[in-house]
């Protein structure tokens, strides 16, 4: 069953920039870019119950015992509107905010054949409320998060027409082999993005009620973060990408946990894509171009996965997953080389 409430979405964008020619064929740009979106479409479960509901003594069924433990009453006995399952209210109660500083320097192609651009983006804030859980005290504090924010992005592009050697040594061999070369490419250097940690229990006794104890949709049960989990880059290893000792099972009776889901700064990487062209004039407007394109040209290791799924012993709370906090071994694409030819007439 769906109850809908809609207001017109509203997005406000800001952009303030300054551009200046700084000489040497260079143009510099500095800009602030931001936006605020309000009344985004969002779902709210109104026929559920809060985290921990099924754990409470008053909600246990004395006639249903498994493993010596009382089991909760059926969900439909505990819902606000009995006789109905989930009731989702679709409304425009979501919102998001974005703020960034952007810098760039670009060089126009000059007589020396060199053109390049350098751009840097610093995401100061990228937060959104995409979930409404009516069963927590402060929904904004719990669900207005910056998951997915990537703080630093640096991109360098370049194109260089290599000077013809025949200008110094004019002969057929030099013109054929060493003239009309061009090199271009893009180098990307990205920091990781922010994300969270999931968890589960091992060694759960028979009959124990697990999960978050909620009824109906709602935000997931989360871990407790008891210290700063992020390690300096110099201290990260294959087996230890963050401080796993800072991650504990939820300690509150409703198993809410205090994590926001944006505690971990993930994996960044550097990538070089390079193209080398050889242009061969064939008279008139005819030209043959030979191309060599290298993607991840230096075959740098670009790790793409970390085990962020904690596993805790149900009775002791100790971590039981030896791979927690390790790189998974997954990577982005290794070096690829592509050859091609193009005939223009």
The mean pLDDT of the chain is 90
Q: What is the pLDDT of residue 217?
A: 64
Q: Is residue 4 scored above 70 in pLDDT? A: no
Q: How far apart are CA 49 and CA 24, in angstroms?
A: 66
Share of the chain above pLDDT 70, in %: 97
Q: Is residue 200 scored above 50 in pLDDT? A: yes
For the whole model, what pTM was predicted?
0.83
Q: What is the pLDDT of residue 92?
A: 84
Q: How far apart are CA 28 and CA 107, in angstroms?
A: 9
Beta strands in the chain (DSSP E): 2-4, 10-23, 26-45, 60-66, 69-72, 88-107, 114-129, 144-145, 152-161, 181-190, 194-195, 198-202, 224-225, 247-248, 264-265, 269-281, 287-295, 309-313, 336-344
What residues are paired with 187 via a beta bridge? 156, 272
- Reported as a single tens digit per residue, the pLDDT across 244-297 is 999 999 998 888 899 999 999 999 999 999 999 999 888 888 889 999 999 999
Mean pLDDT confidence for 323-334 = 93
Q: Is residue 29 scored above 50 in pLDDT? A: yes
Least confident residue range of 23-27, 235-239, 324-328: 23-27
**Between 155 and 133, residue with greater pLDDT:** 155
Q: What is the pLDDT of residue 126?
A: 95
Q: What is the pLDDT of residue 7?
A: 64
Mean pLDDT confidence for 211-227 = 84
**Between 192 and 212, residue with greater pLDDT:** 192
**Between 166 and 160, residue with greater pLDDT:** 160
Q: Is residue 234 scored above 50 in pLDDT? A: yes
**Between 41 and 150, residue with greater pLDDT:** 150
Q: How far apart are CA 251 and CA 5, in angstroms?
A: 36
The candidate with the shortest Cα–Cα distance to 27, out of 118, 157, 131, is 118
Q: What is the pLDDT of residue 1?
A: 45
Q: Would you call 251 helix, strand, or coil by DSSP?
A: coil
Share of the chain above pLDDT 90, in %: 62
Q: What is the pLDDT of residue 6?
A: 57
CB 81 within 8 A of CB 47: yes
Q: Is residue 232 scored above 80 in pLDDT? A: yes
Q: Using alpha carbons, list the distances in angstroms from residue 248 to 51, 91, 186, 227, 236.
A: 18, 35, 42, 10, 20
Q: Residue 126, class by beta-carbon neighbours within 10 Å (0-12 exposed, 13-18 middle, 19+ buried)?
A: buried
CB 45 within 8 A of CB 2: no
Q: What is the pLDDT of residue 10?
A: 84
Q: Is residue 43 scored above 50 in pLDDT? A: yes
Backbone angles phi, psi at 54, to 5 degrees: -75, -5
Q: What is the pLDDT of residue 87?
A: 87
- Reported as a single tens digit per residue, the pLDDT across 95-130 is 999 999 999 999 988 778 899 999 999 999 999 998
């Amino acid at each position: 069953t769906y109850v809908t409430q809609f207001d017109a979405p509203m997005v406000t964008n800001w952009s303030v920039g300054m551009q200046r020619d700084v000489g040497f064929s260079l143009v510099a740009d500095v800009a602030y870019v931001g936006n605020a979106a309000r009344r985004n479409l969002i779902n709210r479960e109104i026929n559920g119950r809060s985290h921990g509901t099924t754990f409470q003594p008053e909600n246990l069924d004395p006639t249903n015992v498994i493993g010596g433990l009382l089991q909760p009453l059926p969900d439909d006995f505990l819902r606000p509107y009995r006789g109905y399952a989930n009731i989702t209210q679709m409304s425009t109660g979501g919102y998001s905010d974005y703020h960034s500083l952007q810098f760039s320097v670009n060089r126009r192609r000059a007589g020396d054949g060199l053109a390049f651009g350098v751009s840097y983006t610093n995401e100061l804030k990228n937060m959104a409320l995409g979930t409404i859980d009516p069963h927590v005290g402060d929904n904004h504090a719990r669900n207005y998060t910056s998951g997915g924010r990537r703080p630093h992005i640096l991109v360098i592009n370049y194109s260089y027409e290599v000077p013809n050697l025949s200008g110094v040594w004019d002969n057929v061999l030099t013109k054929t082999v060493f003239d009309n070369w061009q090199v271009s490419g893009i180098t990307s250097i990205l920091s990781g993005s922010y994300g969270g940690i999931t968890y589960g229990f091992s060694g759960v006794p028979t009959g124990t009620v697990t999960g978050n104890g909620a009824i109906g949709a709602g935000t997931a049960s989360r871990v407790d973060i008891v210290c700063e989990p992020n390690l300096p880059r110099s201290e990260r290893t294959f087996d230890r990408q963050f401080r796993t000792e800072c991650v504990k099972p939820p300690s509150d009776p409703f198993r809410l946990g205090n994590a926001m889901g944006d505690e971990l700064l993930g994996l960044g990487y550097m990538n070089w894509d390079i193209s080398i062209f050889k242009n061969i004039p064939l008279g008139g407007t005819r030209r043959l171009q030979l191309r060599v394109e290298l993607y991840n040209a230096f075959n740098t290791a670009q790790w793409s996965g970390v085990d962020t799924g904690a596993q805790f012993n149900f009775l002791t709370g100790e971590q039981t997953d030896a791979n927690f906090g390790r790189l998974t071994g997954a990577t982005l694409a290794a070096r690829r080389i592509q050859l091609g030819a193009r005939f223009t007439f």
